[in-house]
Structures are given as C-alpha cells and as structure tokens.
C-alpha cells in the first residue's frame, strides 16, 4: 500500500477537478514535499474513472528541446491509435500540430511568430479531438523545467479550457527566494486554475509512512507471522532505509552495488 497521509484537501480538490474537467490544477511546493505523488495519484484516479491520461515531465537538461514536453504528452498517444483513429485525431486544424508531436521533423521554424501560433492552434484542436473520444487528463511533472514552447502552449490552452473535457495537472518546484517563470505565473493567474500548496507532513505521518515502507504487513494489523524470529521486529537499524520529507522510501544499496 502506498500511503498518502494528510493530503485529504488536495485529494478532494483533484477529485472535484476530475469530475468537473475543463480546468487546471497547479501543485506548487518545495523539493520533496510530495508534488510528484499527487500528480501520479491524479493520473491513477483519472484512469480508474475512465479518462485518458497523457503524461509528460520537464527536464533541466532538455529545456532547449522545442515542444519536448508536448511530444511526451501526445507522441505515445498518437502512436497507439489505429490509422482511422489517428486520422480523426489529426483532422482539420489539428493537422497543424504535426511539427510539435513528431509527425514533421522540420521544427526549426515553429518556435516563434505566426508559425508558432499555428502549431499551438493545431495542438489545441488535437487536444479537443482526443477529448471528444474520452475525457482527457494532461499530467506534467517538473513543469518548471519544461521547454518554453510547451509552456507557451499550456498557457494558451489554460485560457481555452472551459469548453473542453480536459483537465491539466502541473507540478512545479518552488525554490527559496526564486520566482516562477513569467509563463508559469500567467498560467497560475488564469481563472480556471486552482493552486494547491501541500504542507510538510507531521512527524506522526512521516513515522506512519516509514513504518509502512519497512513493514507493510504490520501497518495493516498483520504482524509478520512468518518472519525470522532471530531478527528484531521490522528489521534492524541497518535494514531501514531513510524516508524523504513526503515519506517516499530511499532504497539502500544491495550487495554488489556501489555504496
């Protein structure tokens, strides 16, 4: 079991957004606070509710790759469609999205000016066409490191979500004494954007997640009946891997691995 403790309000907000669709949820917080866990949970809940889930992630070393995050979102989804479904997704103005999703490798002239606007317009209609088949979740982690063109399109989309069965969930890292980029500030200011700022977990919640990671059976009231009686309950200190602030277990190196 993967515990999500003291996140009731954030999960309720995500559930509400998944029902309403047509909006954007921005998850902001310091490193290790649990943003990625919430984005992943949003994807899992969306999938269980029958939504299509498209995922992307910004990368600090990939920010110069134009439309890199957009390609992560739409490239796999398009490749999984049959020929007829792909043609329907790219019908009409959506065909203009080709250079951004890997269908046209000539992206050199689509980063500025009128051609950039045409591609963003095409991506909007690609999104709309896919959402007409099934409600759509776009989940982007580490959006602070997304390439500029993808962020520009997300800002473009954020202003036009009211008429779409689309929910966007973005997670952004907040560094001390650092401001969000102008594009992220634009996205945050949109009327359809809801911002979530998870608080650090209490000591009790961190302890519960640590116990869950070390001994799941004990956490669920089933003390390990078949465990080695020569070892102390839950394993010795050397067996316990430290937990991050949001309770995610850090693996201890196994035999043969570098320390």
Categorize the per-residue pLDDT at 178 as very low, low, confident or very high, splitting at 50, 70 and 90: confident
Report residue 142 as tokens: 């580490």
pLDDT in tens, 110-123: 777 888 999 999 99
pLDDT at 89: 97
pLDDT at 227: 41
- Mean pLDDT over residues 25-35, rounded? 94
Q: Domain ranges in the chain?
A: 8-25+46-196
- Selection from 206, 217, 254 nearest residue 3 by Cα: 206
49-58, 87-96, 111-120, 133-142: least confident range: 111-120
- Selection from 169, 173, 198 nearest residue 8 by Cα: 198
pLDDT at 56: 98
Work out the percent of the chain whose per-residue pLDDT is above 90.
Answer: 65
Report residue 87 as tokens: 């043609």
pLDDT at residue 212 above 80?
A: no
pLDDT at residue 104 above 80?
A: no
pLDDT at 179: 79
pLDDT in tens, 217-235: 554 444 334 344 334 444 4
pLDDT at 43: 97
227 or 82, which is more confident? Answer: 82
24-33, 172-181, 222-231: least confident range: 222-231
The chain-wide mean pLDDT, for the chain, equals 83
Please state, in angstroms and rounded to a whole number, the distance separating the CA atoms of residues 135 and 140.
Answer: 17
127 or 233, which is more confident? Answer: 127
- Selection from 44, 54, 12, 47 nearest residue 168 by Cα: 54
């Amino acid at each position: 079991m993967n515990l999500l403790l003291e996140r009731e309000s954030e999960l309720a907000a995500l559930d509400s957004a998944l029902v309403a669709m047509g909006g954007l949820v921005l998850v902001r917080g310091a490193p290790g606070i649990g943003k990625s866990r919430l984005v992943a949970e949003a994807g899992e809940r969306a999938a269980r509710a029958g939504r299509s889930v498209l995922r992307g992630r910004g990368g600090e070393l990939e920010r110069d790759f134009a439309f890199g995050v957009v390609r992560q979102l739409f490239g796999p989804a398009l490749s999984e469609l049959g020929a007829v479904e792909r043609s329907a997704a790219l019908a009409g103005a959506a065909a203009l999205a080709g250079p951004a999703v890997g269908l046209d490798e000539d992206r050199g002239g689509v980063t500025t000016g009128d051609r950039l606007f045409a591609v963003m317009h095409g991506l909007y209609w690609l999104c709309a066409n896919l959402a007409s088949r099934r409600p759509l979740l776009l989940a982007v982690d580490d959006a602070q490191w997304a390439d500029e063109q993808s962020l520009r399109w997300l800002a473009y989309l954020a202003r036009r979500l009211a008429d779409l069965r689309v929910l966007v969930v973005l997670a952004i890292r907040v560094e001390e004494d650092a401001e969000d980029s102008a594009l992220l500030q634009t996205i945050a200011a949109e009327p359809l954007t809801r911002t979530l700022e998870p608080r650090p977990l209490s000591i009790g919640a961190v302890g519960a997640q640590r116990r869950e990671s070390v001994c799941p059976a004990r956490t669920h009231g089933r003390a390990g009946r078949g465990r080695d009686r020569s070892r102390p309950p839950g394993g010795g200190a050397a067996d316990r891997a430290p937990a991050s602030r949001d309770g995610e277990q850090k693996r201890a190196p196994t035999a043969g691995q570098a320390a």
